[in-house]
């Protein structure tokens, strides 16, 4: 389904969380879990600065959902995220039976930006979510948030 105003509101919150992560020394990624009633059930942001590179918010959401939501609640929930799920998080999302994903910027966009700034490739291939989890409904990117996400990524890249 196309992104609507409510989707954009949740995506904007994910970008706010990404900014918080950047300002706290982590990588600029944030995510929000919204249930079928529209209630925000959980949110988190990247926490990799202390050395555990698996501390992605989308992975944290999958773990939280497995422990706190019924299978039906998980299947009907939407995860909003500032940047498209990486393969690790796509797999975790699918393994716990979560529903739709909406992202502000795609992995291809972020990878392209970092390459244009002279970055070296990520140790994990930037595969689209549906290459990892073909059953998941995925929407994005959201053009109105592209500049914000790109700026956060640029500041993170320049910080090193
Ligand atoms: Zn991830």
Q: Where are the domains of the chain?
A: 5-159
pLDDT for position 1: 67
pLDDT for position 160: 83
Question: Quick one: CATH architecture of 5-159?
Answer: 3-Layer(aba) Sandwich (3.40)
Q: Are 14 and 80 spatial neighbours (Cβ–Cβ below 8 Å)?
A: yes
For residue 135, the CA-to-ligand 1 centroid distance in Å is 18
For residue 117, the CA-to-ligand 1 centroid distance in Å is 21
The pLDDT tens digits along the chain (160 residues) read: 689 999 999 999 999 999 999 999 999 999 999 999 999 999 999 999 999 999 999 999 999 999 999 999 999 999 999 999 999 999 999 999 999 999 999 999 999 999 999 999 899 999 999 999 999 999 999 999 999 999 999 999 999 8
For residue 60, the CA-to-ligand 1 centroid distance in Å is 9
What's the DSSP call for residue 151?
A: H
Question: Is the entire prediction scored with pTM above 0.85?
Answer: yes
For residue 83, the CA-to-ligand 1 centroid distance in Å is 9
pLDDT for position 2: 82
For residue 144, the CA-to-ligand 1 centroid distance in Å is 23
pLDDT for position 78: 98
Choose among 92, 12, 25: nearest CA to 57: 92
Contacts of 157 (CB under 8 A, 6+ apart): 113, 114, 117, 119
Terminal CA-CA length for the chain: 37
For residue 37, the CA-to-ligand 1 centroid distance in Å is 26
């Amino acid at each position: 389904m196309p992104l609507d105003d409510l989707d954009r509101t949740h995506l904007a919150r994910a970008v706010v969380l990404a900014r918080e992560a950047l300002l706290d020394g982590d990588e600029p990624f944030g995510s929000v879990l919204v249930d079928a009633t529209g209630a925000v059930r959980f949110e988190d942001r990247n926490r990799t600065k202390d050395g555990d590179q698996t501390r992605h918010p989308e992975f944290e959401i999958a773990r939280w959902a497995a422990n706190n939501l019924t299978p039906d609640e998980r299947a009907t929930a939407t995860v909003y995220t500032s940047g498209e799920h990486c393969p690790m998080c796509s797999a975790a999302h699918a393994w716990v039976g979560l529903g739709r994903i909406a992202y502000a910027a795609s992995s291809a966009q972020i990878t392209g930006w970092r390459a244009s700034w002279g970055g070296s490739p990520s140790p994990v291939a930037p595969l689209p979510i549906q290459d990892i989890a073909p059953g998941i409904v995925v929407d994005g990117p959201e053009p109105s948030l592209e500049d914000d996400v790109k700026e956060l990524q640029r500041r993170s890249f320049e910080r090193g």
